[in-house]
Structure 1
Amino acid sequence: MEHRTLRVTRQRESLRVVIDRPERSNSINAELMAELHAVLDQAEDDPDLRTIVLEGAGPVFCSGMDFADAAGSNRAGDELAVRGGEAFYGLLKRFTTVPRIVVSVVDGRVTGGGVGLVAASDFVYATGRSSFALPEALWGLLPCCVTPFLVRRTGFQPAYAMTMSTLPVTAARAAEIHLVDELLEDAEPALRRLASRLGKIDPGVIGDGKRYFGQMWLPAEELERTAVGEFARLMSSPVVQHRIDNFAAHRQMPWETR
């Protein structure tokens, strides 16, 4: 399958997936989400695959929502906000349920929805140059769809502090709060060790393990309903849409237009 937002290569029992939108800071739009789903389909259809390794092209792993794509699309009462929230939440949920191991390899900045991709991954390796931030509150939003997956990984207080302060978290701090599993300047040895172990495990155990641990968490349907509903409410706000439109058209940050 041809991809326009990703570079996908097969390496033995792994799919290496690079988010390849550096001109848009590797931001997330509908096309990227569809192509990531296609990659997950490919992995599920291939019994020899064990891991999906996700990376970002350039100095940004992923900057979250593509504001140019969102500008003008989520007016009050518009169902696009609901559909957008459902699509993104569904992608993150699939990371946690696909019977393959998803590894994010981060070298650079991660913001907004990009933190969601990381938090929903099974393993996260990051360089010391990496940073993680949830700036949504600056726009009048909240990281609604990210939060359930971030809380699952870090616990309540780190997720709450990242949301309310909007301040970036260093790679070292991300490791302390378990958003990052290991700080590594070169992730390849760790990926090889992981692949070696996974090669000794029956493939069905990966799916069983993810299903079992999923049952240790809060009811998934209630979390999804709450996250998507609040995202749609906030995205439909005229104030939020005005800020997004201004940024898309004039590159003005929200505090510059007050």
Structure 2
Amino acid sequence: MFETIAVTTDARGVATLTLNRADKHNAMSAQMITDLTQAAHQLGTDDAVRVVVLTGAGKSFCAGGDLGWMQSQMAAESETRFVEARKLAEMLQALNTLPKPLIGAIHGNAFGGGVGLASVCDVAIGVDTVKMGLTETKLGLIPATIGPYVIARMGEARARRVFMSARVFEAAEAVELGLLARIVPAADLNDAVEAEVLPYLACAPGAVASAKQLVRQLGPRIDDAVIDHTIRELVDRWETEEAKEGIGAFFEKRKPAWISKV
């Protein structure tokens, strides 16, 4: 059914949504964005599903946006860029508002958009070897469409420590920043996720959905106006000389012009 993700559901109604581009470190391509959006809608309307676990195949959870997809945006017309940026933003919002508990099993590194995916989970458990980072500014870009979710998770003060610097940080700091609820050895990840899942199976599904909707309404505002603003910010950055230089340097395997020669 899906090209870039896998979805399975057990007899209890626990669905596992797996990012399935292991050879690309689960980088988000245009197809993955579409697949995730469709999966979120399907899982959200399936009465048999009680809880959703989000994880990834292979070594990484998610390396962020697929660079090939980003490079194609550089060559696209402005209207096309808006369409593609909106698809990304709508995918994140579909997962963020999923009317089922969303548990992140962060088994490997998460960068850029991968941090965004962790941030839309209701709780994210990571292995103690995970590394994370908002690496967009290294490419002349900014964490725009993921920004509302990252800041809602971390708060502005903590977000400012890592939002602009592209600094990669360890699992323990990810807990301190609020991105991960806790970290465990890799061998214990499944048990830790199961401990998060089990309480929901004793709760009324409709009440869980209503409670999740309420907490989202009471939290930081992430509405159409905010989402539209982040889309414009992303498209504007795609059109800058810095973005052209940063993405060009990546594909040409050289350092971008702004890195000091000293």
Per the normalisation by structure 1, the TM-score is 0.91
The answer to whether the 8 A contact 1:133-1:167 is kept is yes
* Partner of residue 9, structure 2: 10
d(CA) in 1 for partners of 2:80, 2:244: 13
The whole-number CA distance in structure 2 between the counterparts of 1:7 and 1:219 is 28
- For 2:7, the aligned partner's letter is V
1:210 maps to amino acid? K
SS of equivalent residue, structure 1 residue 26 = coil
Runs of at least 5 residues in structure 2 that lack an aligned partner in the other structure = none
Per-residue CA deviation, residues 105-139 of structure 1 (Å, 9 max, x unaligned), is 11221101110000111110001110110111111
**Structure 2 equivalent of residue 125 of structure 1:** 125
Q: Please state how far the C-alpha of 1:8 moved relative to its aligned partner.
A: 2.2
- 1:50 match: 50
Residue 208 of structure 1 aligns with which residue? 210
Q: What's the offset of the Cα at 1:86? A: 1.4
Question: What does the per-residue CA deviation read over 1:232-251, in whole Å, with 9 as the maximum and x for residues that have no partner?
Answer: 10012244134324434x34
Percent of aligned pairs sharing the same letter:
23
Q: Contact 1:147/1:159 (CA < 8 Å) preserved in 2? A: no
Q: Flag the 1:74–1:48 CA change in 2: closer, same or farther, 3 A.
A: same
Deviation at 1:219, TM superposition (A): 5.1
- Tell me how large the CA RMSD over aligned residues is: 2.1
Q: Which moved further from structure 2: 82-91 or 121-130?
A: 82-91
Other structure's SS at 1:31 match: helix
Matched-pair contact (CA < 8 Å) for 2:115–2:134: yes
Q: Which residue of 2 aligns with 1:62?
A: 62
Q: Post-superposition shift, 1:70? A: 2.2
After superposition, residues 164-175 of structure 1 pair within 5 angstroms as: 164-175=164-175
- AA of the residue aligned to 2:198: S
Pair 232,172 (structure 1): closer, same or farther in 2 beyond 3 Å = same
Partner of 2:237: 234
Question: Which residue of the partner structure matches residue 147 of structure 2?
Answer: 147
What is the deviation of 1:95? 1.5
Residue matched to 1:109: 109
Contact 1:9 1:15 in 2 (8 A): yes
Pair 1:197–1:72, CA change in 2 (3 A)? closer
* Cα distance between partner residues in 2 of 1:203 and 1:179: 26
How many angstroms apart in 1 are the aligned matches of 2:248 and 2:152?
A: 32
Q: Given residue 8 of structure 1, which amino acid in structure 2 is its aligned partner?
A: V
1:225 aligned onto 2:228: yes
Residue equivalent to 2:194? 192
Confirm or deny: 8 A CA contact 2:125 2:193 kept in the other structure. Answer: no
Give matches, 1:67-78, under 5 Å.
67-75=67-75, 78=78
* Matched pairs, number: 256
Provide the C-alpha distance between the structure 1 equivalents of 2:5 and 2:258, rounded to a whole number of angstroms: 33
**8 Å CA contact 2:61, 2:108 repeated in 1:** yes
More relative contact order, 1 or 2 (CA 8 Å, 6+ apart): 1
Secondary structure in 2 aligned to 1:16? Answer: strand
Q: Is the alpha carbon distance of 1:95 and 1:78 closer, same or farther for their aligned partners in structure 2, counting shifts above 3 Å?
A: same
Say if 1:114 and 1:255 are closer, same or farther in 2 by CA, change over 3 A. farther
SS at match of 2:54: strand
Matched letter for residue 232 of structure 2: G
Q: Distance in 1 between matches of 2:44 and 2:31?
A: 20
What displacement does 1:256 show? Answer: 8.7
Q: TM-score, normalised by structure 2?
A: 0.89
Whole-angstrom distance in 1 between the partners of 2:104 and 2:80: 28
- Name the CA shift for 1:215/1:102 in 2 (closer, same or farther; >3 Å): same
Distance in 2 (alpha carbons) for counterparts of 1:253 and 1:22? 26
